[in-house]
Amino acid sequence: MQVSACFPSERWVVVWFVTVFDVGVDISPLVEKIDDPNMANDKDLLQVVRLLDDACREAGFFYVKGHGIAEPLMKEVRDVTHKFFQLPYEEKLKIKMTPQNGYRGYQRLGENITNGKPDMQEAIDYYAPIEPGKYGDLATPMEGTNLWPKYPSNFDALLKNYISLLRDLSRKIMQGIALALGGPVDAFEGRTAGDPFWVCRLIGYPVSTDILEEHRTDTGCGAHTDYGLLTLVNQDDDICALEVKNQSGEWIYAKPIPGTFVCNIGDMLKVWSNGIYQPTLHRVVNNSPRYRVSVAFFYESNFDAAIEPVEFCRERTGGVAKYEKVVYGEHLIKKVLNNFIK
Ligand SMILES: N=C(N)NCCCC[C@H](N)C(=O)O
Ligand SMILES: O=C(O)CCC(=O)C(=O)O
Ligand SMILES: [Fe+2]
């Protein structure tokens, strides 16, 4: 049953294999060797870089394996997420998200909106800590402390460790992407993303028939692109729900492949690369008979980075900047302020 839900048409299968998702990348050579002084001569690493370039240019979406995050850890993170969302509503409200708390914490079903419509999801947002005043007025709306639930009891230790591992992994993938674009390996360090902002968003998508009809909309998360550099999604096995718009304008499933992360590029990478890499529209629809969770890790630039097309990418694309300069923190805050029902 699940399989047919994942493969709705023959055409889809062709699209899947030929253009978009034939680019699952085993990144182990990158993860293991990117810090070696001699890495620029490593054939396996350079092959990973080529595959990343293909994936980012052709799809903007790809699977990574060989990333070094143990599958049982990925599963445990999803398990505690399931357990948290199963708690009584009163318990979940103990870590309720408020603007006063920098938009960190729990958001109930229907509280998030995308394109003006409530998303059929509940979620918890964690953001990189911002010391008060660190970025002047720029970051004030996002200042606040992350809220950790009391149950499940291992939740905060597990998530903190996971976030730290994903931050390190994302940095390495971004080093690969820097090489893929033809830049220096440290292109994203320093003022661009040497002090990267990050977001960890735990999301639960209820079974649609469990939602009152008068509250129900048709998407778990409406069509959007992500805001930063790179997103790594850890999704439940066996439920097809994340959909990606391919170059022919069709929505195709990013079906779960156990042990992999689904990666996609964000708005800041588009600007920085002068459009060589484009973020892909995606959305979530949980039509399955099971509650689905995903844990999305967003790796971003420095909060106060002014992102503009970098010179070597501009040169590769006719010499003219296609995008205006954008301050990442301003972009994020504009999005966040539009993400909730008023
Ligand atoms: N940091 C990210 N990407 N968070 C998830 C974005 C989900 C869409 C959002 N409601 C919107 O309308 O943009
Ligand atoms: O739930 C998913 O698979 C993806 C969620 C997503 O795209 C997002 O929150 O930005
Ligand atoms: Fe997304």
- Whether ligand 2 lies within 6 angstroms of the CB of 242 is answered as yes
Confidence category of residue 220, pLDDT binned at 50, 70, 90: very high
> What pLDDT does residue 254 have?
92
Which residues make up the environment of ion ligand 3, defined by Cβ < 5 Å? 226
> What pLDDT does residue 247 have?
84
Give the ligand at the shortest distance from the Cα of 234: 2
What is the arithmetic mean of pLDDT over 215-223? 96
233 or 15: which leads in pLDDT: 233
Task: Choose among 329, 256, 247, 230: nearest CA to 281.
Answer: 247
Does position 14 have pLDDT exceeding 70, yes or no?
no
CB of 204 closer than 8 Å to CB of 292: yes
What is the arithmetic mean of pLDDT over 48-52? 94
pLDDT digits (tens, 9 = 90+) for 274-306: 999 999 999 999 999 999 999 999 999 999 999
> What pLDDT does residue 2 have?
33
Residue nearest to atom 3 of ligand 1 (CA): 226
- Whether ligand 2 lies within 6 angstroms of the CB of 203 is answered as yes
pTM: 0.95
Least confident stretch, 63-72, 120-129, 137-146, 241-250: 241-250
CA atoms within 13 A on the CB side of 88: 2
Tell how far the Cα of 231 is from the centroid of ligand 1, in angstroms: 11
Does position 12 have pLDDT exceeding 50, yes or no?
no
CB of 83 closer than 8 Å to CB of 154: no
Ligand 1 test: best mutation among 109, 126, 224, most atoms within 8 Å of CB? 224
- Whether ligand 1 lies within 6 angstroms of the CB of 101 is answered as no
Does position 10 have pLDDT exceeding 50, yes or no?
no
Task: Choose among 220, 260, 252: nearest CA to 236.
Answer: 260
- Whether ligand 1 lies within 6 angstroms of the CB of 334 is answered as no
pLDDT digits (tens, 9 = 90+) for 66-124: 999 999 999 999 999 999 999 999 999 999 999 999 999 999 999 999 999 999 999 99
What is the arithmetic mean of pLDDT over 45-61? 92
- Which atom of ligand 2 approaches the CA of 203 most closely? 1
Give the ligand at the shortest distance from the Cα of 300: 1
CB of 59 closer than 8 Å to CB of 141: no
pLDDT digits (tens, 9 = 90+) for 181-205: 999 999 999 999 999 999 999 999 9
**24 CB-contact burial (10 Å; exposed 0-12 / middle 13-18 / buried 19+):** middle
Give the ligand at the shortest distance from the Cα of 233: 2
Residues paired with residue 244 on neighbouring β-strands, in sequence order: 252, 282
- Whether ligand 1 lies within 6 angstroms of the CB of 339 is answered as yes
Tell how far the Cα of 211 is from the centroid of ligand 2, in angstroms: 20
Domains of the chain: residue spans and CATH: 14-338 (2.60.120.330)
> What pLDDT does residue 306 have?
98
- Whether ligand 2 lies within 6 angstroms of the CB of 284 is answered as yes
> What pLDDT does residue 97 have?
98
Confidence category of residue 58, pLDDT binned at 50, 70, 90: confident
- Whether ligand 1 lies within 6 angstroms of the CB of 298 is answered as yes
Residues 6+ apart with CB under 8 A from 190: none
- Whether ligand 2 lies within 6 angstroms of the CB of 104 is answered as no
